[in-house]
């Protein structure tokens, strides 16, 4: 693992620059605790510089045709594909996630950009016509102008790409702020892509949520902020954005239930939980963190599940064999272990501690004997911790599954189609998978929450529409 410290700059107005204050912040490799880089700690002044640069280039960018915007997105996808291994290595180092996971994210990110490259040329709407006697009306779908993307640390490059694709495809210019813990892959991507990015069309500003992120939300010229992050951050951003009535797109936390009916195959479900609960150390907003199992399958499921969880290969994220790396930071490690300490009436079937003195690790953990209103069932742990509850009947399963403030993703495990369809109808989540969890996602299909998991969709044409505004023009004949 690298121990050299690299110095990065941020990307404003087509130039690589320091923060106006000259301040920097350290970037840590969480699997070792070592400092690997420093990046500018930008503040409000730097955000204002980026907005000024965006305002300067916006008129020329608005003249670009869908074909030209599409070509840019294809070139950005090429950059990811051509540098996939380097970007994956950097992502693993900075996030502490296994290479097998980071390598998986690069082709998917490139595919996402290609989907929006296609979508840029295929925006449909109502046909022009005489809806009012004596007038011809036409509908225009126009970009918003300057938009901002505020990103999380769990999938740093991929979450940024999910914002870049629809924003640029729709004809906006964009300022992206990576999470303070994980700016490296986005900065490196921008370095690799600098020749193809028209000046000021895509800018990267590094810094803390407050003041850098906050200034993006406050700035009156920024017309939309898309956040992927915590529920509380989403609420703060929505409140701040109200002052300038900018559009807000919120992809927030989750607490995904995996509802396992008695007729499911316990071995297949256990394999599914091994992936859904522990992929990316459970630091996934759609992670299957609550197993809600039927009375008859419960014992057989636990019997199959414990060895599955214990078989996970935990260790150095840069080792090809590793299946689970560290968590993102010391504070996140302490937060996760704090949930386990407070759940003192629960039974820890496996895991339950850090498991390593070096770096910020948490063992894959399985917990039973929890109640529906326990903190560990109600709140997002965002770590490799899965709880298992035993329900009495189907109605209780759905009630428990829905009985949290989140509504991002859920899964149902059954061989009975009617039971599955009924559950899909009743579950209040933006995604419901049947007999699988986590990986069935695709650039064509929307991803986004219900309830306090937020509003607005990532991926799919629905996402691109949110980066546009609709104009009606009426011509008197």
In the complex, the residues that contact ligand NAD under the rule CB under 6 A are: 150-154, 159, 177, 179-180, 208-210, 213-214, 217, 227-230, 233, 236-237, 251-254, 285, 380, 382, 408, 449, 453
Q: Is 10 a catalytic residue?
A: no
Residue with smaller CB distance to ligand NAD, 317 or 407: 407
Residue with smaller CB distance to ligand NAD, 280 or 414: 280
Residue 298 — φ and ψ, nearest 5°?
A: -50, -50
Residue 474 — φ and ψ, nearest 5°?
A: -120, 130
Among residues 402, 444, 451, which one has the least CA distance to residue 423?
402
- Could you say which of 251, 323, 465, 466 is catalytic? 251
Q: How many whole angstroms separate alpha carbon 147 and alpha carbon 177?
A: 11
Residue with smaller CB distance to ligand NAD, 228 or 281: 228
**How far from the centroid of its chain's Cα atoms is residue 322's Cα?**
22
Residue with smaller CB distance to ligand NAD, 280 or 365: 280
Residue 93: partners with Cβ closer than 8 Å, 6 or more residues away: 1, 2, 29, 31, 36, 184, 317, 318
- Residue 442 Cα distances to 74, 153, 234, 448, angstroms: 17, 21, 25, 13
Residue with smaller CB distance to ligand NAD, 65 or 331: 331
Per DSSP bridges, beta strands 247-251 and 409-413 are: unpaired
Buried b (16+ CB within 10 A) or exposed e, 206-223: bbebebbbbbbbbbeebb
Q: How many whole angstroms separate alpha carbon 157 and alpha carbon 159?
A: 6
Q: How many whole angstroms separate alpha carbon 167 and alpha carbon 202?
A: 10
Q: Which helix (H) or strand (E) holds 455?
A: none
Q: How many CB atoms sit inside 10 A of residue 235's CB?
A: 14
Residue with smaller CB distance to ligand NAD, 143 or 213: 213
Structure tokens at 465: 């529409």
Helices (H) and strands (E) in the chain, counts: 15, 19
Among residues 95, 212, 102, 98, which one has the least CA distance to residue 148?
212
Q: Is 251 a catalytic residue?
A: yes
Per DSSP bridges, beta strands 10-12 and 222-228 are: unpaired
**How far from the centroid of its chain's Cα atoms is residue 57's Cα?**
29
Q: How many whole angstroms separate alpha carbon 389 and alpha carbon 397?
A: 9
Residue with smaller CB distance to ligand NAD, 33 or 446: 446
3-class SS letters over 95-135: HCCCHHHHHHHHHHHHHHHHHHHHHCCCCCCCCCECCCCCE
- Could you say which of 10, 42, 151, 285 is catalytic? 285
Residue with tokens 């509504």: 407
Q: How many whole angstroms separate alpha carbon 70 and alpha carbon 77?
A: 11
Least Å from the CB of residue 94 to ligand NAD:
13
Among residues 459, 465, 438, which one has the least CA distance to residue 161?
459
Enzyme catalytic residues: 251, 285
């Amino acid at each position: 693992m690298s121990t050299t410290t690299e110095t990065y700059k941020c990307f404003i107005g087509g130039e690589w620059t320091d923060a106006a204050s000259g301040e920097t912040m350290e970037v840590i490799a969480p699997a070792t605790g070592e400092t690997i880089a420093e990046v500018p700690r930008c503040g409000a002044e730097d955000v204002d510089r980026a907005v000024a640069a965006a305002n300067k280039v916006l008129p020329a960018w608005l003249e670009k045709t869908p074909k030209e915007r599409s070509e840019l997105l294809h070139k950005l996808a090429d950059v990811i594909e051509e540098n996939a291994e380097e970007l994956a290595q950097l992502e693993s180092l900075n996030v502490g996630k296994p290479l097998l996971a980071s390598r998986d994210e690069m082709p998917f990110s490139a595919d996402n950009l290609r989907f929006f490259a296609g979508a840029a040329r295929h925006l449909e709407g109502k046909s022009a016509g005489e809806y009012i006697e004596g007038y011809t009306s036409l509908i225009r779908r126009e970009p918003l102008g300057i938009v901002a993307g505020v990103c999380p640390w769990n999938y740093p490059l991929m979450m940024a790409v999910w914002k870049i694709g629809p924003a640029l495809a729709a004809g906006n210019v964009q300022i992206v702020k990576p999470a303070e813990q994980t700016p490296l892959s986005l900065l490196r991507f921008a370095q690799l892509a600098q020749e193809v990015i028209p000046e000021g069309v895509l800018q990267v500003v590094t810094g803390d949520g407050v003041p850098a992120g906050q200034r993006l939300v406050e700035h009156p010229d920024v017309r939309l902020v898309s956040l992927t992050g915590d529920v509380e951050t989403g609420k703060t951003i929505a409140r701040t954005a109200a002052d300038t009535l900018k559009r807000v797109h919120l992809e927030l936390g989750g607490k995904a239930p995996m509802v396992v009916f008695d007729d499911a195959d316990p071995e297949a479900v256990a394999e599914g939980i091994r992936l859904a609960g522990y992929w990316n150390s459970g630091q996934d907003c759609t992670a299957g963190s609550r197993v809600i199992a039927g009375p008859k399958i419960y014992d057989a499921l636990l019997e199959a599940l414990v060895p599955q969880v214990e078989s996970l290969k935990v260790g150095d994220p840069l080792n090809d064999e590793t299946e689970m790396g560290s968590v993102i930071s010391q504070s996140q490690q302490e937060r996760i272990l704090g949930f386990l300490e407070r759940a003192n009436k629960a039974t820890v079937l496996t895991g339950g501690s850090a498991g390593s003195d070096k770096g910020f690790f948490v063992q894959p953990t399985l917990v039973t004997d929890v109640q529906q209103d326990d903190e560990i069932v109600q709140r997002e742990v965002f770590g490799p911790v899965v709880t298992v509850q035993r329900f009495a009947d189907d109605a209780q399963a759905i009630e428990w599954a829905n009985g949290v403030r989140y509504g991002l993703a859920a899964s149902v495990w059954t061989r009975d189609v009617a039971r599955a369809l009924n559950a899909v109808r009743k579950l209040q989540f933006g995604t419901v998978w049947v007999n699988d969890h986590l990986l069935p996602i695709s650039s064509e299909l929307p991803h986004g929450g219900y309830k306090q998991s937020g509003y607005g969709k990532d991926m799919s044409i629905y996402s691109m529409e949110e980066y546009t505004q609709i104009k009606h023009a009426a011509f008197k004949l």
